[in-house]
Amino acid sequence: MISRSGLGEERIREGNSVSSLMQFQTQETPAARNSSTDGFLPPIVAERLNTNGGQDWCFGPSYDVGLEPALWLQSTRHPTAFRSPRYSLTMKKILPPLLVVLFAVSIHCQAAEPVSIRSLLNEMVDRDSVAKFPANNFRLKQHSSYNRDSKTPDDKKGWFSNLDRNTSEKDKNFIRIEENKGQKEWVLMEHEGPGAIVRTWMPFLSAGRPNTDIQIRVYLDGETEPTLEGNMLGLFDGTGLFPYPFAHKSLRSSVSFFPIPYAKGCKVTTTERPFFFQFTFREYEADTSVKTFTMSDFEATKPLVEEVGQTLLNPVSGEPHADHTQQAPLSLRTTLTAGSEQSLDLPSGNASVRSMSVKLASYEEPSTTRKVILKMEFDGHQTVWCPVGDFFGTGIGLHPFQGWYRTVSEDGTMSCRWVMPYQKSGKISLVNLDDTPIDVEMKVHTGEWEWNDQSMYFNAAWRGQYPVATRPYSDWNYVTLKGRGVYVGDTLTVMNPVAKWWGEGDEKIFVDGEDFPSIFGTGTEDYYAYSWGGVSTDFYEHPFHAQPRSHVYDKLNRKTSGEKNTQGYSTETRTRSLDTMPFGSSLQLDMEIWSWTDSQMGYGVGTYWYGDAQTQSNRVPNPTEALNVPPLPNATVTSNLPKTPNNLFDFETITLVSKPTNVELLPQSLKKFKGQWNGDGHVLVVNTKQGDVIEWKIPTQGSESKKLVLQATQSYDFGVVEFTVNGIPTGKQIDLYSNKPVPSGEIDLGEFPPIDGAFKLQIKVAGKNPKSSGFRYGIDCISLRLSDAHATKIK
């Protein structure tokens, strides 16, 4: 059990004259009336009672938090104590200091209200709460499909094993299989004690298949019937019970941040074998009062859900005139000469930074965002040293996005809304490490803050390294912290010199001296809430995570093709709200370096946390490495197919419209076979029988007719297939049998005009070669080529 911190239970010595302890209660719920604050009597009250008459006072349970104090005092010896002058005199002596103490403790009681859907939703958009160590202490845990062969760093093969999923009966990357009413259920998460699910992540079963028939069930507090049940992806993708933006479709993933609290325990199961998964939850102290999620409570909180959702989507509404914030910002507009530093001094005394922004005059040279450094000092201690690009989440260059804590605008303004409290003094500085002058503008809004023993300082640090060898596989440390604090986010920018996917590496997070990480992930892109990284190189944004830039794409240059190319810079960012990570003594966050290619990459990460003045980091300012910006490689060909000016789509990326329930589509690597496939693999279509039809939708631009050319695979158990485009049969039957896996070569399906900006392709299993042992087939990619006549016109 987690050790308690801050205020806790205090019992009076047996020799004490107080025969019953005071109880503080809220008016919220019956659960609140049984919270862990019952039985707490501050020592100052006990001392005051001992020195004022030695009577056996009993304070009854009628102090109402948030109302005027009402003390019902009784004496166990004298029921008429209030009418006694001697006791009245005693009351006059003890009441004023007692009321002060009661008021102070009432604030603590309010902070430690029972955990509920309502309290967690309010906490989700309370930026002040993140700057304080949590009143309801917890540790963040995660149950995922990480490879169970990963047991110790001493076993390198197992520790870096990459099979973090379940694709066959031999894979056991889940807790267990159990039977319920005659039906198998796969247990994905199981936790005993009070807690709350605060994040879920599950990918599409294939890159182009955003649906599934698998059902997911959430059992709470040991009940035999699930509290929540629905489609495994649909329940958590914003189209089901939990609305956007709490639940949503990220890039080829179903992601949810909607809180599901429980008092006694939680179990999550699926009705079929799961694929990849992550369930991230808070583990509260054993005596924490939690009101378990119910559908009636969910319905009752719908107005609050709507309000919080709108707040998340409009994070800057009301700024800079929000509560506690001064209206006039502090500002700095200057030219930073080579190697120079300019600063803003903050108001003295108890205060806080509420928001700030930095704007550079030019982003024409992308490396400027790495070479301009943001520094902060609070109460005489430097807590922030970070390149502005890594601090605000834009990476190398200007790449706009919007999140709950940060916004990067198209006009170059980079802003953040972290609350940064201090007690006496603060200073924010900009440093130019480059040898070229740069004009900068900085604005800082400050406001009120009442410092107490739960308040913490904001910190941000940076680590960069180039080159980073991808072989042998290794763990790359983001940051290691010693002391008490709360980890709240990071921004990773990588430089990948090749087209193939770089981010198979898992996060491994050790908290408070653990021997094995309590958070063991399933891939770098999964940590940043998307999936199918090789093809998911488009821009996306969400209040708590974003991919501002990948390959050549960002918000101003969106991806329209299905190409697989992760070469160049990629920036991934994640900030935390309900999934913050408190730590009492230490935190270590490592990310595996796991690329499909033996190469030399570049890594740079900005990390953010709150900590006490004594909390230490292993990160120190490193101007030399900040100037060592990884160079972009020369562009490389993304496919080994003949080069054409045409759109080419992998079947992993194409939208699946329909398929028979029994049929599965499985991405498969074909590296070990001779021949050329786009991306070194294909989609294997299994459990098929004669007559099965699958339909895909292929997007296109323009209204002109295009030639559809398909690439498939032939093998020993493959069938005969035929094709229909936009409802028109092509008249072609292709026998995909071969005694070993080989590419089919180009299959010309003919020339067709698009309908509503797309082509609908159907593939039907028409039969099989007598030599074939089955009706399977494999499909690689399809290209859309301009007709010969149209191509001649453009020339």
**pLDDT tens digits for range 87-99:** 343 444 444 554 4
Under DSSP, is residue 594 helix (H, G, I), strand (E, B) or coil?
strand
For the stretch 436-446, pLDDT in tens is 999 999 999 99
Q: Which of 478, 421, 426, 482 lies closest to 453 in space, CA to CA?
A: 421
pLDDT at 398: 98
- Mean pLDDT computed over 538-564: 94
How much is the average pLDDT of 115-135?
A: 97
State the pLDDT confidence band at 325, using cuts at 50, 70 and 90.
Answer: low
Whether 40 has a pLDDT exceeding 70, the answer reads no
Instruction: Please say whether the dihedral angle defined by the alpha carbons of residues 716, 717, 718 and 720, taken in this order, is positive or negative.
Output: positive
Q: 586 CB contacts (<8 Å, ≥6 apart)?
A: 480, 481, 482, 483, 510, 511, 512, 513
Is-contact 31 289, C-beta < 8 A? Answer: yes
Across all residues in the chain, what is the average pLDDT? 85
DSSP string over 397-424:
S---EE-SSEEE-TTSEEEE---EEESS
Longest dimension (CA), the chain: 109
pLDDT for 39 beyond 50: no
Residue 557 has pLDDT above 90, yes or no: yes
Which residues in 188-201 are b (16+ Cβ under 10 Å) and which e? bbebebbbbbbbbb
Asked if residue 386 has pLDDT above 70, the reply is yes
Region for 41 from its dihedrals, namely left if φ exceeds 0, alpha if ψ lies in -120 to 50, beta otherwise: beta
CA distance linking residue 84 with residue 70, whole number of Å: 19
Other Cβ atoms less than 10 A from the Cβ of 598: the count is: 10
In whole angstroms, how large is the CA radius of gyration of the chain? 30
Residue 60 pLDDT greater than 50, yes or no: no
Calculate the CA 347 to chain-centre distance. Answer: 34
Q: How many CB atoms lie within 10 A of CB 181?
A: 6
pLDDT on residue 583: 98
Write down the pLDDT at residue 406: 98
Tokens of 130: 């993140």
Question: What ranges make up the beta strands (E) of 625-680?
Answer: 647-650, 655-658, 664-669
What is the H or E stretch that residue 115 is in?
none
Local confidence band at 679 (pLDDT 50, 70, 90 cut-offs): confident
Q: Shortest CA distance to 24 belongs to which of 14, 9, 13?
A: 9
What pTM does this model have? Answer: 0.73
Q: How confident is the model at residue 788 (pLDDT cuts 50, 70, 90)?
A: low
Q: Please tell me the predicted confidence (pLDDT) of residue 100.
A: 46
| DSSP E strand stretches across 726-792 | 728-735, 742-752, 758-767, 777-786
Total Cβ atoms within 10 A of residue 440? 19
Average pLDDT for 11-33:
33
Tell me what pLDDT residue 563 has.
84
Share of the chain above pLDDT 90, in %: 73
Instruction: Report residue 83 CA to chain centroid gap.
Output: 61
The H or E element spanning position 108 is helix 85-111
**What was the pLDDT predicted at 105?**
47
Query: Under DSSP, is residue 284 helix (H, G, I), strand (E, B) or coil?
Result: strand
Paired sense of beta strands 616-617 and 474-482, if any: antiparallel
pLDDT reading at 509 higher than 70: yes
Distances (CA, A) of 55 to 21, 70, 236, 373: 14, 20, 59, 64
User: Which pairing describes strands 24-25 and 63-64: parallel, antiparallel, or unpaired?
Assistant: parallel
**pLDDT value of position 702:** 78
How high is the pLDDT of residue 112? 59
Nearest C-alpha neighbor of 134 from the set 583, 572, 619: 583
